[in-house]
Amino acid sequence: MRLNPRGIGEVVVSSRPYEEYLAMFGLTEADVLSGPVLDCPGGAGGFAAGVRTRGGTVVSADPVYAQDAPAIVGAARAGLERGLAYLERNRDSYVWTWFRDVEDLVARRREGLEAFAADFRGADARHVAASLPHLPFAEGAFRLALSGYLLFTYPDHFDLAWHRDALDELTRVAGEVRVYPLIDTAYERYPALDELRRGLDARGHPSEVRRVEYAFQRGADEVLVVAARG
């Protein structure tokens, strides 16, 4: 870890609710209910609980699941406080179309955290303590893998080789991989995105960048969609 990483700093444990996840990855409900989904990193959000409630199958993977529920909930609360302070210092970098205002943002993050807390029973087959780029899942185990706010988001913590290995690992375990956002927490597009995409293509995984309706951080309106078994 660097002493003064750019953007928000250390990796945040966040708690987005189910609906926000669908929007940021450009997915419909049918997309996430039609086969096993991997959410890596799952964080302390409500996506998995939302999928399960609706009858779908999902596994969340995140190193934070090695901790107990109070520790994870505490980390997510601290992460929300840090996020709000960062937002306050960078107000011009946010658009208020998805969220009405700060109160709405806080309410929806709390909603995600409550859904997580009700669903989490410690590390088990549904919440797997694991870290990219090494996942304990069989090849093609999932129809779809979602990776939000880790790749591209923290370039000071994870170098280019890590990103390549993480994408290779996600494409190994899932038929399609979606990564969001494509900018870091200092609001800059990941500079080696095209290089990574060329590498994926050369290894048989064509990808595209798609526009999504969801936007919160200015410039975070695109998702990377990788055909893992192209």
Ligand X SMILES: C[S@@+](CC[C@H](N)C(=O)[O-])C[C@H]1O[C@@H](n2cnc3c(N)ncnc32)[C@H](O)[C@@H]1O
**122 vs 206 by CB, closer to ligand X:** 122
Min dist CB 43 to ligand X, Å, is 3
Q: Is residue 150 a contact residue for ligand X (CB under 6 A)?
A: yes
Burial of 100 (0-12, 13-18, 19+ CB in 10 A): exposed
**216 vs 228 by CB, closer to ligand X:** 216
Q: Is residue 16 a contact residue for ligand X (CB under 6 A)?
A: yes
Min dist CB 124 to ligand X, Å, is 17
- Which residues ranging from 125 to 144 are in contact with ligand X (CB under 6 A)? 131-132
φ and ψ of 81, to 5 deg: -60, -45
Q: Is residue 149 a contact residue for ligand X (CB under 6 A)?
A: yes
**12 vs 49 by CB, closer to ligand X:** 12
Piece in contact with ligand X (CB under 6 A), picked from 13-21, 170-178, 187-195, 199-207:
13-21
Min dist CB 143 to ligand X, Å, is 18
The whole-angstrom separation of Cα 18 and Cα 112 is 7
**12 vs 212 by CB, closer to ligand X:** 12
Q: Is residue 13 a contact residue for ligand X (CB under 6 A)?
A: yes
The whole-angstrom separation of Cα 197 and Cα 177 is 12
Size of the chain, expressed as the number of residues it contains: 230
- Which residues ranging from 37 to 76 are in contact with ligand X (CB under 6 A)? 40-41, 43, 45, 62-64
Half-sphere exposure of 189 (CA within 13 A, CB side): 11
**132 vs 144 by CB, closer to ligand X:** 132
Burial of 224 (0-12, 13-18, 19+ CB in 10 A): buried
**164 vs 201 by CB, closer to ligand X:** 164
Burial of 165 (0-12, 13-18, 19+ CB in 10 A): middle
Binding residues (CB under 6 A) for ligand X: these are 11-14, 16, 40-41, 43, 45, 62-64, 131-132, 148-150
